[in-house]
A and B are shown apart, each in its own frame.
Chain A
Amino acid sequence: QKEVEQDPGPLSVPEGAIVSLNCTYSNSAFQYFMWYRQYSRKGPELLMYTYSSGNKEDGRFTAQVDKSSKYISLFIRDSQPSDSATYLCAMRGTGTASKLTFGTGTRLQVTL
C-alpha cells in the first residue's frame, strides 16, 4: 500500500463548478501538507501549504486537513478552463528539511 493515495481521475467538470480533490495517507509522521498544480510537461507549482488541521483559504482555493482521519482536500470554487491540470498532493514530516511524498496526482479537466 502506498503511503499517499490519490484518485488519478480524470475528473471532468463544467466551468463554474466547485471541484473537490482528495488524498488519504497512512504515515502519522506527516505533519505538513501541500497541493501542487502541474500543467502538462511542466514542473509542479505550489498552490497551498498547510500544517494545522482545519481550513486554509487563498482566493478560489481552500485546503482542508483532517489529521485524525489522515485525509486532506483541496476545493476549487468557480472553476475555470485554465484550472485544467494535474493536482498533486504532497506531504512531509517535521524538521527543517524533509523529502516530499507525493500522491499520484488527479487530472482535472474544466470544460466550457
Chain B
Amino acid sequence: DTGVSQDPRHKITKRGQNVTFRCDPISEHNRLYWYRQTLGQGPEFLTYFQNEAQLEKSRLLSNRFSAERPKGSFSTLEIQRTEQGDSAMYLCASSGAGTDTQYFGPGTRLTVL
C-alpha cells in the first residue's frame, strides 16, 4: 500500500497521560500536514512541514502539542497531559512538490477518558 499510513488507528488514554501518533506519508511527498477532526465537523488544520522544517502552526496547537518530522520522512504528533477536549480524529495528509493535492491517511482516533 503506497498511501498515507497512520499508527495507531485507535488510542484510548486517561486524562493527564501523554500520547504520540505517527504518520508515514506517501513516499517522495515532501509536504506533510496534521489536521484534527471532531464529531460533526470538518478537519481543522494544526501544523505543516516541508521536508523536516515545521513552517506553520495553528493557534489550535497549544503548548501541550508538539510535532516533529526528523529527516523529512515520517512525522510524530505528541500530546502531553491529555484533556477530554483532545478527544478527536487526528488526520495526516501529504502532498508532493509542484502540486498541493493533499492525500489523507485513515486517521488516529483518540479517546481521552
Spell out A's residues near B (CB within 8 Å): 4, 6, 8, 32, 36, 41-46, 49, 88, 90, 92, 95-105
Known: A43-B105, A44-B91, A45-B104. A90 touches B98 (CB 8 A): no
Does B72 lie at the interface of the complex (its beta carbon under 8 Å from any beta carbon of A)? Answer: no
Does B25 lie at the interface of the complex (its beta carbon under 8 Å from any beta carbon of A)? Answer: no
Closest-by-CB residue of B relative to A44 is B104
A-B contact count (CB 8 A): 63
Residues of B within 8 A of A32 (CB): 100
Nearest 10 interchain pairs by C-beta: A102-B42, A99-B45, A43-B104, A43-B106, A44-B104, A43-B107, A102-B43, A104-B42, A43-B105, A88-B42
B31 adjacent to A42 (CB under 8 Å) = no
Does B18 lie at the interface of the complex (its beta carbon under 8 Å from any beta carbon of A)? Answer: no
With A97-B31, A99-B45 already in contact, 15 other A-B pairs whose C-beta atoms are closer than 8 Å: A32-B100, A43-B6, A43-B104, A44-B43, A44-B91, A46-B101, A46-B102, A46-B104, A96-B97, A97-B95, A97-B100, A100-B33, A100-B43, A100-B45, A102-B44
